[in-house]
Amino acid sequence: MAKYLTVTKFSKLTGVTIRTLQYYDDEGILPPHHKSDAGYRFYSKSELLFLQKINMLKHIGFNLNQIKTILKSNTFDWQSSLNLQAKILQDHIDKMQNSIVLINHSIANNLAKNSEPDWEVMAKILEVLNMKQDSAYQDWVKRNFTDADLAFFGEMAASQNNEENAQLWQNIFAEAKSLMHLPPESPQAQKLAKAVMDSANSQYQGNEGLKGKMWDLMKSGDIPEGFIPGYEKEVVLFLNQAIGIMYNSKH
């Protein structure tokens, strides 16, 4: 490489258009090494390395104003900035994954039958998928559920009365709590155990895997605060004992 390159040769070497290089110069992002008396721009190896930094920062999502600030600052907080950018990119990835789930659901359930998508179901699926964007649930959802699980939750939300379901489980938990002074084999506890299983079977519509996964999370206490109204781990463990006794008595 010659010590100094004209803007034309620098453009060919880097793949950046002359117009872009002129814009970078005008905006103070990447000035040339120097200009001739006639105003021609000349670039050196230093500008080449600087351009590589610009391209890298653009690639990971920083805009030109941010790049200008980053490269001109001697006290720029790289760690915080890169962490923030990583989060932004992860949010974009999550949204793209959500779009794939919606597309696959449409193909499997509607378009394959040559019919228009059920927009209400699609909206509910998207609502559930977007839980992954909420910091309160993000790690929990990603740790425990597949995209297929979330799509099923969305279908449940579209086909069932969510307020009635929430109230039903709140009532079940309240009644169970009032019965915890009794043994789990008591008639009252056994009656409630049957109501729990009937309600769960109705809501999960044959999806035994997801029903079992949710119940295991409830038994372990791994439920975000406020996610299930009325939920308490100790109450669920009491109900689990009653359900076990109920099943054993049938076999």
23, pLDDT greater than 70: yes
What integer pLDDT is reported at residue 181 of this predicted model? 93
For 164-216, the pLDDT digits (tens) are 888 888 899 999 999 999 999 999 999 999 999 999 998 888 889 989 999 99
**79 vs 21: which has the higher pLDDT:** 21
**Residue 86: other Cβ atoms inside 10 A:** 12
Portion of the chain with pLDDT greater than 70, in percent: 73
Q: Report the pLDDT averaged over residues 100-115.
A: 59
For 137-170, the pLDDT digits (tens) are 667 777 888 878 877 877 777 677 777 888 888 8
What integer pLDDT is reported at residue 161 of this predicted model? 74
What integer pLDDT is reported at residue 172 of this predicted model? 92
Q: Report the pLDDT averaged over residues 82-87.
A: 69
Phi-psi region of 52 (alpha: psi -120 to 50; beta: other; left: phi over 0): alpha
Could you give the angle at the alpha carbon of 154 between the alpha carbons of 151 and 156, nearest 5°?
Answer: 115
Phi-psi region of 205 (alpha: psi -120 to 50; beta: other; left: phi over 0): left
What integer pLDDT is reported at residue 71 of this predicted model? 79
What integer pLDDT is reported at residue 8 of this predicted model? 93
By C-alpha distance, which of 215, 96, 91, 210 is closest to 155? 210
What tokens were used for 84?
Answer: 């923030």
C-alpha–C-alpha distance, residues 154 and 139, integer Å: 19
For the chain, what is the mean pLDDT? Answer: 80
Q: Report the pLDDT averaged over residues 117-145.
A: 61
What integer pLDDT is reported at residue 70 of this predicted model? 80
**Main-chain phi, psi angles of 41, to 5 degrees:** -90, 140
What tokens were used for 168?
Answer: 């039903």
The band of 34, judged by pLDDT with boundaries at 50, 70 and 90, is very high
What integer pLDDT is reported at residue 1 of this predicted model? 59
For 44-80, the pLDDT digits (tens) are 988 998 888 888 788 777 778 888 888 777 666 667 7
